[in-house]
Chains A and B, each alone.
Chain A
Amino acid sequence: MDEAGYIILLPIVVGVILFIFPDKVKIVKGLITLIISLLTSFFAIRLYQTESTIVDLSIFSGLIAKDSLLYESISGIGTYCQLNIDPLSQLITLGISFFAVIISIYSITNITKEKKLYHFFPFFLITLGCAIGAVLSDNLILFLIFWGILGFTLYKLIKGYDEESSAAAKKTLILIGASDSVMIIGIALIGMIADTYNMSELNISTSTGIGIMAFLTLLVGSFTKAGAFPFHTWIPDYTKKAPAPSSAYLPASLDKLLGIYLLARLCTDIFTLNQWLSLIILTLGVTTIIIAVLLALIQHDYKRLLGFHAVSQVGYMVVGFGLGTPLGIAAGLFHMLNHALYKSGLFLSAGSVYQQTGKSDLDELGGLSKSMPLTFIAALVFALSISGIPPLNGFASKWMIYQGIIDFGKQPGIANQLWIIWLALAVIGSALTLASFIKFITGIFMGRRNPELESVKEVNILMLIPKIILALICISFGAFATGYFVPEIFFPVVGKFEFVGVWQSSFISLLVVLSVILGLLIYLSGNIKNFRTADSFVGGEKWEEKAAFPVTGFYDTIRNAKVLKTIYDKAEKGWFDIYLLTKHLVLSSNKVLSKVHTGVLTDYAIWIFAGLSIMLIIYLSV
């Protein structure tokens, strides 16, 4: 079981060592990062093949003299350093190390071009080690330590170069930090109820008040990390300002894996849910889907648009876990993997576009499909995946979630009776996702090219390879979903289950290929060789060279629809942003408190005297 130790310690130790290298040799640091990520993946694969066990990490005891005071104080450390290797943690570990490899390949050239972003690679590696540590640790306190470090590295992977980006970084740190402290309360409550901190030994019923409190506090941690409503607001701000590899690494892939991992542990191992909690989780899930996708629809900045989708997709995973059936949980986990694949791919594509053009507004881009063909094709695959177009992977996992919902509706129970609502909102969320990705793809790659962008070139090979790998995995996960990947990957985790409906992913994928061949044959049999190119026909009018219908205007009808307009206006003012709401509350209560601070010495003396008298009265009366 040495892998378990190496896989956590190796990236952290190397990450710390990398701090002493100067930032001038970024490429060397990048290469070292890549090598370490590859090694970690190797260990992760070895770990994936082992039997599931609980490992006791009492390695420290050998290092210290037996009769020293230090030995006495840490001799009990074994119970706290317990690692849990089971199919779920093996799967997530493999996922984390895979994304680390993909994104470190991309970062080698991309990050070296970023100015003023210091120590990207050291923090990258520490994040990797801590993420794996959090996933593998069985003890809740050890878990919390790794989890806490992750919040800090997240903060360090965004650069604060202007006011807005500093604000985004601060918001992230405060929201994540606050959720961590809420989690400490939850873990303390668990310790109170169960007298152990080891997840594998816990099974808490949620029939008591304390049990429900403990569940909800830990749920806050999971939701904030994964970015589910109402704790999602750091993600869009973060992705707008952070460099693409950071967005792809944390909010798009690792934080989803971790947040959903915690949710999985909560829903399956640590707690047994009652039906009201299912109802709450499902409601939060569909709210996340709808609110985030509606906001994504009206964005002008494509990185922010992707950020809102990174929130919206979490809703599907949360719905899957809210169902609580093996099918639902497998669907949630499958969607988590798929989401990490296409969303990190989308962020990497967005980063490539940003690096080549320097523009982040959809209005200023357009027509890049000719200049960046491979990026375009990869981005199209990711966009169709996330919109759930068959036969890609996003469809497969969404289909499983829909099946889960329909199956769930057969049971009695309050949440079960409302299955039509969950189903309809989840499906419409997917249609709205498609709508906003039409805008994304059109705004960047299609339409007329802005004359300024004539000289734009494709990115270099190191930035292309990760996207191509991700796109190929998206396609193959979709094509072999029901036949191979779902039984292979998820049956060990959730147990065997039956699909309710029928989706023959491989055969329909074959039909896609055959249909394209058929289509090409029809083209070739026709008169296609006799073609000519001509400028656009716009009803015989002479239009200016730059005339185009801007994509940001696509959904103005929706933006200005009666009910939605008020929601959008409120959302833009930050009414749904828990961070801003808390900020206003704190600041306004501070205003009241600041009235006491008059600056007059006698007033302070009166306060002190009054306080003393109150304390005296309380003391005497007890």
Chain B
Amino acid sequence: MVADLFYYFIYPGFLFTAVVGGLIAGVDRKITARVQFRKGPPVLQPFYDFFKLLLVKETILPAKGSKITFLLAPVFAVFGASASAVLIMLPLLGIDAGFRGDVIVVFYLLTIPSLSYIIGALASGNPLAAIGGSREMKLIVSYEFTFILIIAGIILKAESSTSLYRIIEVQQTGNAFIGTASGVLLFIAAMFCIQAKLGLVPFDMGEAETEIGGGAFIEYSGSAYALIKLTKYMLFFTLPALIILFFMGGVQLTGIHILWSALKLIAVILLITLIRNTNPRLKTGQAMRFFLIWMNLFVIVAIVLSYLGY
């Protein structure tokens, strides 16, 4: 019990994910700046941002909204991110704890942050936040279908097991799933899904800074916004980790394998950053079509291929 609480709060749950996630967010900003021929902020900038928001900045609450819901929503977002993080990281890092959850549980826990953003946005009573919230919800509806199909494909490849440990084990005794044709297709679709889950360009219509002034987050400031930032950093580590778990055979923390593990993470993050820096924002309808038609088609082809043994 105490060990499980340690896993959840310190390592590899809340604190660990937040620190690594913050670093990843810093690297992401650095790369983005390089792509745009700028120098960019220091890598530790996300931490400065977080503590500035939490400790220094004043918090402005919406006069017309329901304030308690508005303030509690980010707390639940942090819960969703930490719970999914710990359930993904434990098998990924090979820690055999009594505390586990299967892939369906992880799937559902990962929707909690987005849902909390939406509820918080709508509780603020701001019409632009409502626009952002409704866009975010439509995006969720479109990518969830692709995402569950990807998970079904993974379950199929992992010999009908829903255990994350088993998924890694199957890949480490055989080949990583990305080594097959169906695995590549699933990987591509999964990359777009996590891009949408992270709310990054081209799927950032929910916040759309330049268009609806931050959309779902327009009313957030100070401490509450710090928690939202924290959730985003955590997801920036958790979701790439999930990709590594699903497709690249997880990580091993012995000898030369540490280097490989780090390279896997860097590769996934580089891919995310490059997609976000080389694409324009899609309209909601376009994004829905992209997932509901093209990505689903991709995944269905992949599932048929994996039935045939490719």
Partner-B contacts on A (CB < 8 A): 367, 369-370, 376, 388-390, 395, 399, 402-403, 406-407, 409-410, 419-420, 423-424, 427-428, 431-432, 434-435, 438, 441-442, 445-449, 500-504, 507-508, 511-512, 514-516, 518-520, 522-523, 525-528, 530-539, 543, 547-549, 551, 553-555, 557-558, 561
Residue-by-residue, is B160-191 near A (CB-CB < 8 Å gives 1, otherwise 0)? 10110000000000000000000000000000
- Closest residue of chain A to B102 (Cβ to Cβ) is A501
With contacts A511-B83, A537-B218, A558-B138 known, is A501 near B105, CB below 8 A? yes
| Contact A446 B145, beta carbon cutoff 8 Å | no
- Closest residue of chain B to A535 (Cβ to Cβ) is B63
| Contact A435 B141, beta carbon cutoff 8 Å | yes
Residues of B near A554 (CB, < 8 A) are: 134, 137-138
Tell yes or no: B118 within 8 A of A by CB. yes
| Contact B105 A533, beta carbon cutoff 8 Å | no
Chain A interface: which of B21-29, B148-156, B241-249, B255-263?
B148-156
| Contact B213 A539, beta carbon cutoff 8 Å | yes
CA distance A538 to B137 in the complex (A): 21
| Contact A502 B101, beta carbon cutoff 8 Å | yes
CA distance A447 to B140 in the complex (A): 21
Partner-A contacts on B (CB < 8 A): 4-5, 8-9, 14, 54-67, 69, 71-72, 74-76, 78-79, 82-83, 99-105, 107-109, 111-112, 115, 118-119, 122-131, 133-134, 137-138, 140-141, 144-145, 148-149, 152-153, 155-156, 160, 162-163, 212-213, 218-219, 222-224, 226-227, 284-285, 288, 303
| Contact A435 B213, beta carbon cutoff 8 Å | no
A-B pairs with lowest CB-CB distance, top 8 = A519-B75, A501-B102, A515-B79, A526-B223, A536-B126, A549-B130, A526-B54, A369-B66
From the candidates B60, B76, B119, name the one contacting A532 in the complex (CB within 8 A). Answer: B60
| Contact A445 B130, beta carbon cutoff 8 Å | no
| Contact A438 B63, beta carbon cutoff 8 Å | no
| Contact B285 A399, beta carbon cutoff 8 Å | no
5 CB contacts below 8 A, A to B, read A403-B104, A420-B149, A514-B5, A531-B58, A536-B219
CA distance A152 to B107 in the complex (A): 44
Nearest Cβ distance between residue A60 and chain B, in whole angstroms?
A: 53
With contacts A369-B66, A446-B69, A507-B99 known, is A515 near B126, CB below 8 A? no
| Contact A530 B141, beta carbon cutoff 8 Å | no
CA distance A551 to B162 in the complex (A): 37
| Contact B127 A538, beta carbon cutoff 8 Å | yes
| Contact A520 B75, beta carbon cutoff 8 Å | yes
With contacts A403-B104, A446-B65, A519-B78 known, is A409 near B58, CB below 8 A? no
CA distance A376 to B145 in the complex (A): 30
From the candidates B55, B65, B128, name the one contacting A527 in the complex (CB within 8 A). Answer: B55
In this complex, the member of A410, A423, A543 whose beta carbon has the largest number of chain B beta carbons within 10 angstroms is A423
| Contact A431 B141, beta carbon cutoff 8 Å | yes
| Contact B130 A442, beta carbon cutoff 8 Å | yes
Residues of A near B140 (CB, < 8 A) are: 431, 434-435
| Contact A523 B71, beta carbon cutoff 8 Å | yes
| Contact B223 A527, beta carbon cutoff 8 Å | yes
Residues of A near B303 (CB, < 8 A) are: 420
| Contact A543 B127, beta carbon cutoff 8 Å | yes
| Contact B63 A555, beta carbon cutoff 8 Å | no
Nearest Cβ distance between residue A549 and chain B, in whole angstroms?
A: 4
Residues of A near B127 (CB, < 8 A) are: 536, 538, 543, 547-549
CA distance A368 to B119 in the complex (A): 15
- Closest residue of chain A to B109 (Cβ to Cβ) is A390
Nearest Cβ distance between residue A184 and chain B, in whole angstroms?
A: 42
With contacts A508-B83, A527-B222 known, is A428 near B101, CB below 8 A? no
| Contact A511 B130, beta carbon cutoff 8 Å | no
From the candidates B62, B83, B128, B138, name the one contacting A557 in the complex (CB within 8 A). Answer: B138
| Contact B78 A507, beta carbon cutoff 8 Å | no
From the candidates A507, A539, A547, name the one contacting B4 in the complex (CB within 8 A). Answer: A507
| Contact A522 B285, beta carbon cutoff 8 Å | no
| Contact B59 A557, beta carbon cutoff 8 Å | no
| Contact B284 A557, beta carbon cutoff 8 Å | yes
With contacts A519-B78, A557-B138 known, is A527 near B54, CB below 8 A? yes
From the candidates A502, A503, A532, name the one contacting B61 in the complex (CB within 8 A). Answer: A532
CA distance A435 to B140 in the complex (A): 9
Nearest Cβ distance between residue A432 and chain B, in whole angstroms?
A: 6
With contacts A435-B137, A537-B219 known, is A504 near B112, CB below 8 A? no
Nearest Cβ distance between residue A243 and chain B, in whole angstroms?
A: 28
Residues of B near A520 (CB, < 8 A) are: 75
| Contact B55 A526, beta carbon cutoff 8 Å | yes
| Contact B105 A399, beta carbon cutoff 8 Å | yes
| Contact A503 B213, beta carbon cutoff 8 Å | no
| Contact B156 A420, beta carbon cutoff 8 Å | yes
CA distance A508 to B75 in the complex (A): 15
| Contact A431 B79, beta carbon cutoff 8 Å | no
From the candidates B79, B118, B134, B222, name the one contacting A512 in the complex (CB within 8 A). Answer: B79
CA distance A188 to B112 in the complex (A): 51
| Contact A402 B61, beta carbon cutoff 8 Å | no
- Closest residue of chain A to B65 (Cβ to Cβ) is A446
Residues of A near B59 (CB, < 8 A) are: 526-528, 530-532
CA distance A419 to B156 in the complex (A): 10
| Contact B115 A389, beta carbon cutoff 8 Å | yes
Nearest Cβ distance between residue A520 and chain B, in whole angstroms?
A: 7
| Contact B8 A536, beta carbon cutoff 8 Å | no
| Contact B285 A446, beta carbon cutoff 8 Å | no
| Contact A390 B9, beta carbon cutoff 8 Å | no
From the candidates B71, B82, B100, B141, name the one contacting A432 in the complex (CB within 8 A). Answer: B141
Nearest Cβ distance between residue A427 and chain B, in whole angstroms?
A: 4
CA distance A449 to B112 in the complex (A): 27
| Contact B130 A447, beta carbon cutoff 8 Å | yes
CA distance A554 to B131 in the complex (A): 8
A390-B105, A427-B107 given; 11 more Cβ-contact pairs under 8 Å: A403-B102, A512-B79, A515-B75, A516-B79, A518-B78, A519-B72, A531-B59, A533-B63, A539-B128, A549-B131, A561-B285
With contacts A446-B69, A520-B75 known, is A536 near B9, CB below 8 A? no
| Contact B79 A511, beta carbon cutoff 8 Å | yes
| Contact A528 B223, beta carbon cutoff 8 Å | yes
From the candidates B56, B69, B148, B213, name the one contacting A424 in the complex (CB within 8 A). Answer: B148
CA distance A330 to B163 in the complex (A): 21
Residues of B near A438 (CB, < 8 A) are: 118-119, 122, 133, 137
Nearest Cβ distance between residue B230 and chain A, in whole angstroms?
A: 8
CA distance A64 to B167 in the complex (A): 71
Nearest Cβ distance between residue B59 and chain A, in whole angstroms?
A: 4
| Contact A420 B152, beta carbon cutoff 8 Å | yes
CA distance A146 to B69 in the complex (A): 46
